[in-house]
Structure 1
Amino acid sequence: MLVRDAMSTLVLTVRSTDTLRLAARLMSRHRVGAVVALGTDEDGGERVLGILTERDVLDAVGSGLDPGAEPASAHTTTEVVCAAPAWPLERAAEAMTRGGFRHLIVLDGHRPVGIVSLRDILRCWAPSGRHHADLGG
């Protein structure tokens, strides 16, 4: 199975000047754990700056920062590993395990086309139709 088979094609984005509150509102409304942060490249076009996760928002709020005033860019992880749609899911899971993160931005060239999460991968690998009790738990 490939990343394209597991990824969510809903790619929510925030600009570097948007607030943490806006990012949190988007994630909550769409029930996702991450948004792609966009910035401007030297030609004036958009480029991926990184990823902002629910954990980043929680850490900021837990530190006493005001989510309505705090810019998303100050909490965006910019050193990210991105996946390609044609990666095998094993490669994506390996990258997540090695990097210690739960989301990968999926790029087609330089354009974000999806996000794959650990939950997406588990959903693909879990036996369908089986309940926790059936798995010996």
Structure 2
Amino acid sequence: MMSERGVGSAVVIDPDSEGIGIMTERDVLNAIGAGLDCDVERTGAHLTWDVVYAGPEWTIEEAAAAMARGGFRHLVVLDGREVAGVISVRDIMRVWAASRMVGTGG
């Protein structure tokens, strides 16, 4: 699904387990690199459950700072208890690049 949609992560919600987790490209690559059969492996065994969350009111700078501090490339955005989406380093770079072009007349 991640490949089809051109995204680098997927939020996984398991109300019977640890709540909200995230699976990233890196998680998939680690499983493949370990020689695991991706046709039978379950996502739950390869998720990151220790997720850092952002609020929808966070600035791009706050999101970037949280990613830099934590050393990760995706940040789950929660609006209350609901997942609003995921912001990625790619998203931040797009905003940064667009703001640089505006400032240069580009």
Q: Scaled by the length of structure 2, what TM-score is found?
A: 0.88
| More contact order relative to length (CA 8 Å, sep ≥ 6) | 1
Question: C-alpha offsets along residues 53-109 of structure 1, whole Å, 9 cap, x if unaligned?
Answer: 011001100110000111101110000101111001111111101111000011111
Question: What is the aligned residue count?
Answer: 100
Shift of 1:122: 0.9
Say if 1:36 and 1:48, in contact at 8 Å, map to a contact too.
no
In structure 2, C-alpha distance between the alignment counterparts of 1:66 and 1:27, rounded to whole Å: 17
For residue 70 of structure 2, the aligned residue among 99, 111, 131 is: 99
Which of residues 76, 83, 88 in structure 1 aligns to 2:54?
83
Cα deviations by residue, 1:15-51 (Å, 9 ceiling, x for unpaired) = xxxxxxxxxxx10000000000110248xxxx84210
What secondary structure does 1:70 align onto?
A: coil
Structure 1's consecutive aligned runs of 4 or more residues displaced over 4 angstroms after TM superposition are: none
State the identity as a percent.
52
Q: Residues 116-127 of structure 1 correspond to what in structure 2 (within 5 A)?
A: 116-126=87-97, 127=100
Cα RMSD of the aligned pairs, angstroms, is 1.6
Q: Could you tell me how far apart the structure 2 residues matched to 1:85 and 1:107 are?
A: 7
CA contact (8 A) 1:106 1:113 kept: yes
Give the distance between the partners of 2:16 and 2:80, measured in 1 at CA: 15
